[in-house]
A = this chain, B = another copy of it.
Amino acid sequence: MDIIYKPIIFCLCLLLGHTVLSQQAEYALMPMPQELISQEGKFRIDTTFQVAVQGNPDERIYANATRLIRSISERTGIFLHAQGFVKPEDKDANAPVLITVSRPGKVVLHEDESYQLTIDENQVKIEAPTDLGAIHGMATLLQLLQADTAGYYFPALQINDNPRFAWRGLMLDVARHFLPMDVIKRNLDGMSATKLNVLHLHLSDNQGFRVESKVYPKLHELGSDGQYFTQQQIGDIIAYADALGIRVVPEFDLPGHATAMLVAYPELGSQDQAYEIERYWGIFDPVLDPTNDYTYQFLDSLLGEMASLFPDDYFHIGGDENTGKHWDQNPEIQAYMKANNIKDNHELQTVFNERLLPIIQKHGKKMMGWDEILQPGVPKDIVIQSWRGKESLYEAAKQGYQGVLSNGYYIDLVQPTNEHYLNDPIPADANLTEEQEALILGGEATMWSEHVTPETVDSRIWPRTAAIAERYWSPQSVNDVEDMYERLDKISLYLETVGLMHLRNKGMLMRRLANGYDTEALEVLVDVIEPLKIYQRNAGGTMYTSFSPYTKIADVATPDQKVAREFRDDVDHYLQKSTEEEAEAIRTKLSLWEANHHQLLPTIRKSPVLKEIEDLSYHLSQLGAVGLEAMDIIAYQATVPEEWPERAKKVVELAKQQGGRTEIMVVSAVEKLVTQAIQEEGRNNTNTKY
């Protein structure tokens, strides 16, 4: 498919005199479709706007078509009163929007999700084999909404589209920090807007068991602190997802990550002890006893109950990060291993999986798990989710196993969008056969929830996950980072209109921190800092617990800050090309930062929670000052006091220190300016000498 893609866009560009980049950014689509043919003309939106549906769709199409009308009305302010709800009787072939669907879509792996979208001046047509494809077509249409002085319109074009990968997932960890219904629903809306189709719910872990069980009610009663989904709510989530064409895959992490289960049913554990819900983050020892028949009876009942709640074919049993220590410490387990010739804990977990598998199968499910579940002899219809790396995924594919890539999509680690974006599940050098490639089903962005709450989780997922969604949907060749960022900026705004809180909660978090309405100076700082990345946030691994406040500077700071990123880009371009425009932009920012510390100090003084950013704020102002000095040296060959290089380097070094578990993201750029200035200054001095 990607073979068609490039020439078409290329054609377009020649035709219209645009570059590929501006062409894509003009449409602000994400994910970009497989094929887009631009045309002359505009379909104008007015009060006659209506949608008709022909063919044989699932009834979910009507709710989606109604949402389309509401969304356009909300964004354009036009009173679209001609049609309150789209209904099966609305079949007019001349309707402004005509959707044609061949058959009801099934919300299952490998369903046909393709669609064609054709827009001319008179009509918008969406044609798709299934309503799932038609829903994607509507998602594309919503992103195409544009305006000129005459009003709102969709640009004339033709799109032929279908996903590169069948499994395009977002995992939400609702176990560590519980994420309630409204968080789940608005994220499903965000997924639909970006054509993701699998919501993976990580439902049990050491810190909580998050589903009501009628068979073993102590699980949610004792294992959740009262924070769990009722079975009716689970049904509600599944129905909401199904209406958007999104699968819901449940995960119950076994046999490790099981503390919350053992709080309720300690008899399942490998130690004869009482358990308490884990309050820290990390890897812990509590683990089910794989040598006890009761464990399997229990799991048979429990997983049977849970399997009946989730209609998807796949059932995720976790399987990761078992330390094995409790097995080592239990003489009966050791005796069992000896008696059964089980060499090590790895083999013992294989025994567990082997006994778990028929239980999963008995309840009509295919097993999915993290890398560790891949053992000789497991059936070929299991799915491996790789957190360890692509190598294990390819190794599995070579053995004939299906896999989903999550390594490289750990969005909890606060890494920049481009790193995830360029992480291709099947890069050109993967060295897989076509058959093996087909076993790589796709990927999942994983939102582990140690350090997020319902207030902050949206800003950790979005907008970065839109770029990941493009990686899963669009051709491999759509990989221009600059263009991605340009579109992402617009998509982020659009995602706010579907209900996500990533932008609007920033103001709230800042007002709470400042204990006041004036957050201008605070925002100047916030916009250039990011939370510490990878696993550094949690100092010593025990700084934070379930009871910690996630309301501080590291929580309002978001990944991949645009202001900082653009500054770094400006500096790079300036140092290559010395354009006056970039110099101006750089100086404006440096001046703002230099002056900001004194603007921010009064807020810090009245709000002790901000004490932890005082040094950070000072360092930023110092960076601003030396940055400006460096710019002067570079631009005007200004001579400077002998001690300047040392002083400037010191400022840069100090600014590398973390503050409030965040770091300043413009240090490297200022450092480049300083380095360049020192070189120039050296030259100037040299010139002076001779």
Contact = CB atoms under 8 A, between A and B. Distances in A.
Interface of A: 70, 73-81, 84-85, 147, 149-152, 180-182, 225, 230, 232, 279, 493, 496-497, 503-505, 507-508, 511-513, 515-517, 545-549, 551-552, 605-609, 612
B503 A549 contact: no
Contacts of A503: 507-508, 511
Given A77-B549, A80-B547, A504-B508, A606 B497 contact: no
Contacts of A551: 73-75, 77
Nearest to A544: B79
24 contacts: A73-B547, A74-B512, A75-B551, A76-B608, A76-B609, A77-B552, A78-B609, A80-B547, A80-B549, A81-B547, A84-B279, A85-B225, A150-B608, A151-B608, A232-B232, A493-B515, A493-B517, A496-B508, A496-B511, A497-B512, A503-B508, A503-B511, A504-B504, A507-B507
Given A147-B515, A504-B507, A517-B493, A546 B607 contact: no
A492 to B, nearest CB: 9
A506 to B, nearest CB: 8
A612 to B, nearest CB: 8
Nearest to A83: B547
B512 A147 contact: no
B73 A549 contact: yes
A230 B235 CA distance: 12
Given A74-B551, A76-B608, A225-B85, A493 B507 contact: no
Q: How many copies of the chain does the oligomer comprise?
A: 2
Contact of A79 (B180, B548, B612): B548
Nearest to A492: B517
Nearest to A453: B74
A74 to B, nearest CB: 4
Given A78-B549, A493-B512, 17 more contacts: A70-B547, A73-B548, A74-B512, A74-B549, A75-B512, A75-B609, A76-B549, A77-B513, A78-B609, A152-B608, A181-B181, A181-B182, A182-B182, A496-B511, A503-B508, A504-B504, A504-B508
A516 B493 CA distance: 7
A516 B496 CA distance: 11
A85 B493 CA distance: 39
A294 to B, nearest CB: 30
A81 B548 contact: yes
A58 to B, nearest CB: 16
Contacts of A552: 77
A5 to B, nearest CB: 28
Nearest to A69: B547
Contacts of A73: 547-549, 551
Contacts of A507: 503-504, 507
Contact of A606 (B76, B84, B147, B279): B147
Contacts of A152: 608
Contacts of A612: 77
A78 B181 CA distance: 28
A599 to B, nearest CB: 17
Contacts of A76: 549, 608-609
Most buried by B among A76, A493, A511, A608: A608
Contacts of A608: 76-77, 147, 149-152
A663 to B, nearest CB: 18
Contacts of A516: 493
Q: Which 4 pairs from chain A and chain B are nearest by CB? A: A77-B609, A182-B182, A74-B551, A504-B508
Nearest to A77: B609
Nearest to A232: B232
A523 to B, nearest CB: 12
Most buried by B among A74, A78, A496, A607: A74
A44 to B, nearest CB: 11
Contacts of A182: 180-182
A285 to B, nearest CB: 21
Nearest to A551: B74
Contacts of A77: 513, 549, 551-552, 608-609, 612
A235 B150 CA distance: 50
Nearest to A501: B504
A73 B552 CA distance: 10
Contacts of A80: 547, 549
Contacts of A181: 181-182
Contacts of A511: 493, 496, 503
A196 to B, nearest CB: 22
Contacts of A225: 85
Contacts of A606: 147
A504 B551 CA distance: 15
Contacts of A512: 74-75, 493, 496-497
A225 B63 CA distance: 11
A444 to B, nearest CB: 26
A676 B641 CA distance: 60
A232 B152 CA distance: 42
Contacts of A508: 496, 503-504
A658 to B, nearest CB: 16
Contacts of A81: 545, 547-548
Contacts of A545: 81, 84
A635 to B, nearest CB: 29
Most buried by B among A75, A77, A78, A546: A77
A279 B79 CA distance: 13
A230 B150 CA distance: 45
A150 B552 CA distance: 18
Nearest to A454: B499
A604 to B, nearest CB: 10
Contacts of A497: 512
A143 to B, nearest CB: 13
A85 B279 CA distance: 12
Contacts of A609: 75-78
Nearest to A606: B147
A590 B76 CA distance: 31
Contacts of A79: 547-549
A607 B149 CA distance: 8
A565 to B, nearest CB: 15
Contacts of A230: 232
Nearest to A508: B504
